[in-house]
Every structure is written in C-alpha cells, then in structure tokens.
Chains A and B, each alone.
Chain A
Amino acid sequence: MTSKENILISLAEKISNEDIRIIDLTNTLSSEFPVIVLPPEFGQCDHFSMETISKYDDNGPAWYWNKISMNEHTGTHFDAPAHWVTGKDLPNNSVDSIPLKNFMAPAVVIDISKECAKNSDFLITKKFLIGWEEQYGQIPKNHWIALRTDWHKFVGSPKYLNMQNDGAHSPGPDKSAVEYLVHEKNCIGLAVETVGTDAGQAFDFDPPLPAHSILHGNGKYGLQCLRNLDKLPTFGSIIVANPLKIENGSGSPLRVFALVDGQNDEL
C-alpha cells in the first residue's frame, strides 16, 4: 500500500497542510478558572493549583517543573459514567476502563447561543430538538452532542457561574431532551461550554440533574467547560477527548480538540 492509499497517512498530510484544521476546545488550567460550586455543607471542587518545584534555581539549577493539584472535574474536563450514582454499577464506567474508540467521535453542534443570550436559564427540550432537526437535518447516531451557548465568553466574569441567591443560572437540557439524545440518538455524550452538563437550576428538576443522571446511567459521557464550539461546523467535525488514565477515576481534566475540514463553508 502506498502512502497516498493509506487513510492515516492521508489524514496526517491533510492536518499538516491544514486541509484539516485542529480547533482547541480547551480552556487553560489556572487557579482563576471557575469550578462548580455546591452547597457549602458538601465537599467542594478544588480549583487548579500549581507550586513551582524548581525553575533554574537552587532547587534545580537546569530544570523547571511544577507540582499541580486539582479535582478530577476542574477546568475543561471529562465526566465518566461512574461520576454519577446512576452509572455506578455499569461496566467500563471509569476513565481507565472506557473503550479507547469512544475518545474519538464525530460531533453535531446545536447552536442555542441566541436563545441563551436572551435567557440564562434556557432549557433545550425534545420539542426544540425535533424542531431543530426539521431545520438543519437529523441528529446522527453515535455523535457527541455539542451545545453551543457561547458561554465560554463569560469566563473571567461572575456571569460564567452566574450564581444568585437561588443558585446558578446557566443553560442546559431538560429530561425530555436528554432521553431523546440518549435513547433515540445513542449519543456518545453531551459536550458543553458551561461548568456542568446540567442547567444551573437543574438541582430542582425532576429528576434532579437530568443530564448527569440519564447520560451516566446509560454509559454516556460528559464534556464540560469547553470553548470554541462556535468554530465548529454543525456537522462533520470529530472531537478527540482523551481523559487521563486515572485508576477508577470519575473524570479527568484533559486537552480536547476537534478536527474540522478546512474547506468547510460554514467556518
């Protein structure tokens, strides 16, 4: 087989020529990056923290390295099924046991940024999704469902978590939407720009936190705190999301990127 006939070599060449572009969907891990806030009596999510061990100094004259610490769900991160009680007994439910093929999957991008700009609590429903399909085409099976909210533009301001006296206010799906995506579209998972796959007020839904509950209960995944979803086409991109291989890990910070056809007219 010649290199031109080899699909992987061909892919590598297209990436090198930027015929296929790589879009970084990851926010930078820093101590300032917001994390999910739970009621104070529960254990909390740690911010990212970093201590320099040496930086060409007395502690290591020729080398620079840091000690880092964080929660499995700090920054741009992956949620494994074991993260939620509904997924606790599933096989291959932790980041170290998920089949590798699931770390690379096509994505469909559903743009709800206009709706979210008008309503921070915008909820995506099954009815909305069916209406969307009528306009844009069927949601394919075995895809990441990426919700473009443009929420990543709020990173660095209180608007990102949007915490009020009655809890956080940010968009997400309701039960009907998650059930539709999981049972009828067999999605890989839900990929969002907000701090969680669920809406800010979802603790008060029935069932509480339907995205976490239904996705993980059915072996699906979550990707949170993404950016640059506005740079992806509606159809045709591939998301590469490899969590760290943490023993029995419930999730992991990770570098997520998407492969996009450089010639795509939508970009």
Chain B
Amino acid sequence: MTKQKKYLTKKNPLVKSKINHVSSHLRSRATKALACHAAKGDFVLQECSECQYISYPPRDRCPKCWGVLTWKHQKRHATLLAETTIHSTTDLYFREHVPWRIGTILLDVGPTAFAHLHSNVQVGDKLKIHVMLDRSGNPALFAMPRKVTVNMEEDYQYSQFTASPKGKRILISDGRTEIGQKLTYELIKAGAEIVYLGNADSNLRFKGQDSISKHKNVKIIPLNLLSTKSVKKCSQQYGGKVDILINTASYVRSGSIAFSGKITEMQNAIDLNVNGLTRLAKAFCPAMSARSGDEERPAIAFLDILSIFSLTSHPDYASLAASSAARLSIINSLRSEMSLSGLKVFSTLIGPIEDEWHQDIPPPKVTAEQIAKSVITSLKNGQELTLVGNVAKDIFEKWSANPLLTMRETIK
C-alpha cells in the first residue's frame, strides 16, 4: 500500500514554513554525466569497453581493469537484498524527511548499489530501478516495485524526486494559446487544484476564452510578460500561491537574418522569449524558492517550453532560434541557481507546432495536445529535459552526437 501524500487546501498561516535544504553539490564529473542522462529519464550505467564490466557508482576508469568506461542503456531490473530505515542524521536535507528507507539492490546486470526505496518494496522483491534527480540535481537510484499499482507515484519518498501536478496550484504564463489551454485541461485532469491562466491583453478576447473561463479550477489573471510591472504585480498577488510555474509564452515569426527577417521581429522575439522568461523568473522564483521546503504546500517546479531550434539555429526562423538559444541558456543558469533552493527547473523542447506560424514547415509537426501530455509526464517523472515530437527527438539525438554537424545540417 503506497503511503500517500496528504493534499491540504489550506495551511496554518501561523506555522513558520520550513527552510528548504538540499543535498550536497559535491559530485564528480562522471556523476554529473549520469545526471544528464537521468534528466532525460534514461537508465544508463557505465560499461568497460575492455572487459565489459558494468559498474556503479560513476567512475573515471574501470575498477577492474582501468579500461575506458562508456555510458550504455541497461536493463532496469534488480532485486532488493537488504533495507534499513534512517531515523536520525546530521544531514540537513534528510533531517527534514526521516524516517527514510534505503536499501542495497543487486542489479540484474551485475553491480550492487544503494537505492532509495518506494514504500511498496520489501527485501527479496523484484524491482524496477530509475535514475532520478534529487532537489539539487544530483542523480540517485530509486527502487520501484515492478508491478504498477494505483497511486504508486504518490509515494512520499518518490515524490521528493518528482513534481506531480496533483493537488498543486499552477500558473501558466500564456493562456491565450492553444498550448496554454490544452495544458490547463491536462493539468486539471492530472489533479491540479487550480490553474492560474495568464492573459496578456484583457482588451482583446481570445479563442477558447468563454469555455475555459467558466471552469471551476481555472482563474484567468492579467499577466503580460512584456511588462515588468505586470509580471511583478502578478507575482505580488500569486507568487505565494504558485507551486508550479509553466512558461508557455512564445513569439514565433518566420524570417531570415539578412533578407526576409526584420529587426523589429528579432526585438519582439527577444523581448517575449528572453526578457519575458527573465521577468517571470525574477519575479516568481525568489518567492517560490522561499517555499520550496514547505512541508504542506511546497513550491516545486519551474518549467519552460521552448523550441528545439535553440540547439541548432534555423535559417528561416532565425529570430525564434536565436531567442530560443538564449532562453535555453537562461534556463540552464536558473537551474543552477535554483538547485541551491531545491526548486526543480524543467525544459520541454518542442519541434515545429501545428499552428498558423509554422505553415511553411512540412510535417511532422507537434500538436498542443502532445505538448500538454509530455509536460504532465515530465513533471510526474521528475524528468528535467523532455523532447516533444519526432523533429525534436531527431535533432536532439544528432546534436548529442555531433553539435557542429547538426548546426551545419540546418543550412540549406
């Protein structure tokens, strides 16, 4: 039986919120490499290219033969050999979370390792192992039962590694778009308590406004990412209530650098995609960080949806690509900054969308529904980096193998 989290509608306002602590940032380069794979939800371990020995934890050389280690996808299966429950510790992070169960697992592919345990697993059980990122972005093994059970993702220890929308108060920066609205409905389906939906211009109505504004779990609020005053005002009103913030705003116009593109369009793209994201982070992240350790209603995540062309550039969508590259850079800086407070920072990289601004790009294109579902999955799984659509997946795979070549490939 999964020990479930309690979802409170209100917390006692006289109780001091707990300060969030995160685990140590001191990790080897090899461990940080594992974190990169964990961010995508991959289960990889190091394998020796000389003796094929599979090892854990991450190292610089093979512990058997000093051979070169390479990251390879592995079977996630393991058995729980032993377990213990920690009741007392000097570690500031775990002190807030004891009792905490950990155990020794024997991976089917060879190594034994320490893992955090789901409340449904017992010694001798067959396990499914995930590499998860903790609140400070460090990778750790988490042992789940092999059999899927109801509410298993609500396990208290597991939830420390994820950002499930269930019971959460969520702000979506741009509710005027189809993506913002589909995402709202998916979040409510996933159990979100309320979605605050940003409306940048109350002078102009938007498609879908009538139906979404009537939803009892949705509150449409003024929020214009082009205005520092508007973003500040919004954070002053809602910053103390937002548990998850999702930035859906994006300015997309086709145009090249020298010929068809306009300086004003580049400025517009930079102002919304780059400065808008910065305004949002600057206004909300301090307030959210202050609540990231709260026991009852913690702020847990900041998620940005951006174009895959952030990695490669795009000659016909130069302003989108340039501003998305800056956006990705901002998110990486923010992730590092937030790792000190425990607020998880997610990026959802999307391929061209099926909308009016991508008419001259041939399929496959991604739909608002695909994006919405991927965002929910990434939050539920604590997956910091998600790729939506075949174009995004293909570009990312090529870019991972050879970034410069992938940039060249976008040249006509």
Residues of A contacting B229 in the complex (Cβ-Cβ under 8 angstroms): 30-31, 50
What are 24 A-B residue pairs whose CB atoms fall within 8 Å in the complex? A31-B224, A31-B226, A31-B227, A31-B229, A32-B227, A34-B201, A34-B203, A37-B204, A40-B356, A43-B264, A43-B265, A44-B268, A47-B226, A49-B226, A49-B271, A50-B228, A52-B228, A158-B202, A158-B203, A158-B204, A160-B203, A161-B203, A163-B203, A163-B204
* Contacts across chains A and B counted by CB atoms under 8 Å: 38
Task: Give Cα distance in the complex from A47 to B200, angstroms.
Answer: 11
Residues 124 to 167 of chain A near chain B (Cβ within 8 Å):
157-158, 160-161, 163
Contact status A49-B202, CB under 8 Å:
no
B205 at the interface (CB under 8 A from A): yes
B52 at the interface (CB under 8 A from A): no
Contact status B228-A158, CB under 8 Å:
no
Task: Give Cα distance in the complex from A52 to B202, angstroms.
Answer: 24
| A66 (CB) vs chain B CBs: closest residue | B228
A57 at the interface (CB under 8 A from B): no
| B222 (CB) vs chain A CBs: closest residue | A32
Number of interface residues of B (CB under 8 A): 17
Residues of A contacting B356 in the complex (Cβ-Cβ under 8 angstroms): 40
Residues of A contacting B159 in the complex (Cβ-Cβ under 8 angstroms): none
Task: Give Cα distance in the complex from A31 to B229, angstroms.
Answer: 8
Interface residues of A (CB under 8 A from B): 30-32, 34, 37, 40, 43-44, 47, 49-52, 157-158, 160-161, 163
Contact status A51-B203, CB under 8 Å:
no
| A40 (CB) vs chain B CBs: closest residue | B356
B70 at the interface (CB under 8 A from A): no
Contact status A51-B204, CB under 8 Å:
no
Residues of B contacting A40 in the complex (Cβ-Cβ under 8 angstroms): 356
Residues of B contacting A157 in the complex (Cβ-Cβ under 8 angstroms): 203
Assuming A43-B262, A43-B264, is B205 touching A158 (CB within 8 A)?
A: yes
Task: Give Cα distance in the complex from A47 to B203, angstroms.
Answer: 12
Assuming A37-B204, A163-B204, is B262 touching A47 (CB within 8 A)?
A: no
Binary interface encoding of chain B residues 198-241 relative to chain A, with 1 for a CB under 8 A from any of its CBs, else 0: 00011111000000000000000000101111100000000000
Minimum-distance CB pairs A-B, first 10 = A31-B227, A34-B203, A161-B203, A158-B203, A163-B204, A51-B228, A43-B264, A31-B229, A49-B227, A31-B230
Contact status B264-A161, CB under 8 Å:
no
Residues of B contacting A161 in the complex (Cβ-Cβ under 8 angstroms): 203-204
| A158 (CB) vs chain B CBs: closest residue | B203
Task: Give Cα distance in the complex from A193 to B173, angstroms.
Answer: 32
Task: Give Cα distance in the complex from A240 to B224, angstroms.
Answer: 33
| A52 (CB) vs chain B CBs: closest residue | B228
Residues of B contacting A34 in the complex (Cβ-Cβ under 8 angstroms): 201, 203
Residues of A contacting B268 in the complex (Cβ-Cβ under 8 angstroms): 44
Task: Give Cα distance in the complex from A88 to B356, angstroms.
Answer: 33
| B356 (CB) vs chain A CBs: closest residue | A40
